[in-house]
């Protein structure tokens, strides 16, 4: 799915986001920096919501994709729920004004402290991923004087046909419980006094560009729901997880409406349908702006050394992910088009943003690394003692600084020297 053309456009050759020239963002906040479009976030979320029509549904935005408070705030105002995987993400949702009742807590390793915090906040549902986790939650809910609403995340063993690092629905993955054990686990949950079964969940992977694995997974999940019913266990909702892909290069991901239609067909009334989209909501809504520091030629390569690095965007280094690179301005328009490897200043050969790209560049050219709104800043690090970049939310003609650049003192403000004379 693509972000509507009016979010990004060229104006006198300059790249704009909404009604703001990206060069103006760089001038004001310096580079590298992340820039998000509020209109893009809102339009995708609304498309999901509208696609369900009258079907009972809930859209839980996956906070892990981009947890900036302004992003969460934007979506919370539309009525979004949230999919979290840690106590930290719960704190972010609450700080941004999200409703705990609309929170789904996923993840294979919830700590006791995280469970306590989530119970105290009275979140909507825990998606459980193992027998041990179930026993622990039952115990902690009892100690907290609460009954935890739960779903069990099953692993439908379907091949999502995506990058192995972001595929989660195969038996070899650590996620979910095998289908063959699901019924026994539900029976156990039904017998535990402090758990209240309300759903079944699954998530098969991320950046899926084909609807077949979703349909296959849902068919298997619905077979389980039937089995549960026969066993006297009723669920209210089916959580299909996230995973719908976006266009980075030549992928042609299904339209949101087609994806939702597949879910509505596979999951009959009266079950409520829950989804946990992350990337598809914020991925195309953000860019990473960077400036070319140096152009450098070696006997075999031509490098553009940028001020952004794997510390800002690790996806190329980690998954060999491809992000489109666009020149923001026209200052290099008269330069020859040459093939560049775009790299950062970090001392790692894996530190690349893009390789083999035909571009017209100069030193100091401003570039936009596209589709960087998801799994960008959230995966940033301080490696090489690099402050993490600022985040700016564009809203019409207005730029909001929604997170300032870290300064050098931030890097070690919480560290301590050893006591003197020891």
Handedness of CA 344, 348, 354, 357 (dihedral sign): positive
Return the SS3 of 247: coil
Does 176 help bind ligand LLP (rule: CB under 6 A)? no
Measured in degrees and rounded to the nearest 5, phi and psi for residue 241 equal: 75, -160
Question: Please, which of residues 370-409 interact with ligand LLP by CB under 6 A?
Answer: 375
Tell me whether residue 282 is one of the annotated catalytic residues.
no
Write out the DSSP string of 282-305: HGGGEEEEEEEEEEEE-SS-EEEE
In whole angstroms, give the CA distance from residue 419 to residue 422. Answer: 6
Does 276 help bind ligand LLP (rule: CB under 6 A)? yes
Q: What is the four-CA torsion angle of 350, 356, 357, 360, rounded to 10 degrees?
A: 100
C-beta of 203 vs 357, nearer to ligand LLP: 203
By CB under 6 A, name the one of 315, 323, 357, 386 that touches ligand LLP.
Answer: 315
- Distance of closest approach, residue 2 Cβ to ligand LLP, in angstroms: 16
Return the SS3 of 194: coil
C-beta of 17 vs 202, nearer to ligand LLP: 202
In whole angstroms, give the CA distance from residue 284 to residue 224. Answer: 35
Q: Which of 28, 68, 97, 78 is nearest to 402 (CA)?
A: 68
Question: Please, which of residues 49-108 interact with ligand LLP by CB under 6 A?
Answer: 62, 65, 83, 106
Q: What is the DSSP letter of 254?
A: P
- Distance of closest approach, residue 71 Cβ to ligand LLP, in angstroms: 13
Q: Could you tell me which stretch among 89-97, 239-247, 355-363, 385-393 binds ligand LLP (CB under 6 A)?
A: 239-247
C-beta of 102 vs 340, nearer to ligand LLP: 102
Q: Which of 97, 96, 133, 93 is nearest to 115 (CA)?
A: 133
C-beta of 237 vs 279, nearer to ligand LLP: 279
C-beta of 316 vs 390, nearer to ligand LLP: 316
Does 3 help bind ligand LLP (rule: CB under 6 A)? no
Catalytic residue (choose from 33, 282, 306, 347): 347
Question: Please, which of residues 11-50 interact with ligand LLP by CB under 6 A?
Answer: none
Residues that bind ligand LLP (CB under 6 A): 62, 65, 83, 106, 166, 168, 203, 206-207, 241-243, 276-280, 315, 319, 375
**Residues marked as catalytic:** 347
């Amino acid at each position: 799915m693509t972000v509507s053309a009016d979010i990004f456009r060229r104006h006198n050759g300059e790249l704009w986001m909404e009604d703001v020239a990206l060069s103006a963002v760089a001038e004001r906040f310096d580079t590298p920096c992340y820039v998000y479009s509020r209109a893009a976030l809102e339009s995708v979320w609304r498309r999901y919501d509208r696609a369900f029509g009258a079907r009972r549904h809930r859209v839980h935005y996956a906070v892990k994709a981009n947890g900036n408070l302004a992003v969460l705030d934007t979506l919370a105002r539309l009525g979004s729920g949230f999919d979290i995987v840690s106590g930290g993400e719960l704190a972010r949702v609450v700080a941004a004004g999200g409703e705990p009742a609309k929170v789904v807590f996923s993840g294979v390793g919830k700590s006791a402290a995280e469970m306590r915090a989530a119970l105290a906040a009275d979140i909507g549902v825990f998606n459980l991923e193992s027998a041990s986790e179930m026993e622990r939650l039952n115990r902690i809910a009892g100690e907290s004087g609460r009954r935890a609403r739960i779903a069990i995340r099953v692993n439908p063993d379907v091949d999502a046909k995506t990058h192995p690092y972001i595929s989660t629905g195969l038996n070899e993955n650590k996620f979910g419980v095998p289908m063959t054990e699901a019924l026994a686990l539900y029976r156990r949950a039904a017998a535990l006094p402090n758990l209240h079964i309300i759903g079944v969940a699954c998530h098969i992977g991320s950046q899926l560009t084909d609807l077949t694995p979703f349909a296959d997974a849902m068919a298997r999940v619905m077979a389980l729901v039937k089995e549960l019913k026969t066993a006297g266990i009723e669920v209210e909702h089916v959580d299909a997880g996230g995973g719908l892909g976006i266009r980075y290069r030549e992928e042609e991901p299904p339209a949101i409406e087609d994806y939702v239609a597949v879910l509505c067909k596979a999951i009959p009334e009266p079950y409520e349908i829950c989804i946990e989209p992350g990337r598809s909501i914020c991925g195309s809504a953000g860019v990473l702006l960077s400036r070319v520091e140096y152009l450098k030629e070696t006997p075999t390569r031509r490098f553009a050394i940028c001020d952004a690095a794997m510390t800002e965007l690790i996806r190329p280094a980690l998954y060999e992910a491809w992000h489109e690179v666009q020149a923001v301005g026209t200052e290099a328009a008269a330069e020859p088009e040459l093939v560049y490897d775009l790299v950062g200043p970090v001392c790692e050969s894996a530190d690349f943003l893009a390789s083999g790209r035909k571009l017209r560049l100069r030193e100091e050219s401003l570039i936009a690394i596209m589709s960087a709104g998801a799994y960008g800043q959230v995966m940033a690090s301080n490696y090489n003692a690099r402050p993490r970049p600022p985040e700016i939310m564009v809203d019409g003609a207005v730029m909001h600084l929604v997170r300032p650049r870290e300064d050098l003192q931030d890097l070690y403000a919480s560290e301590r020297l050893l006591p003197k004379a020891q």
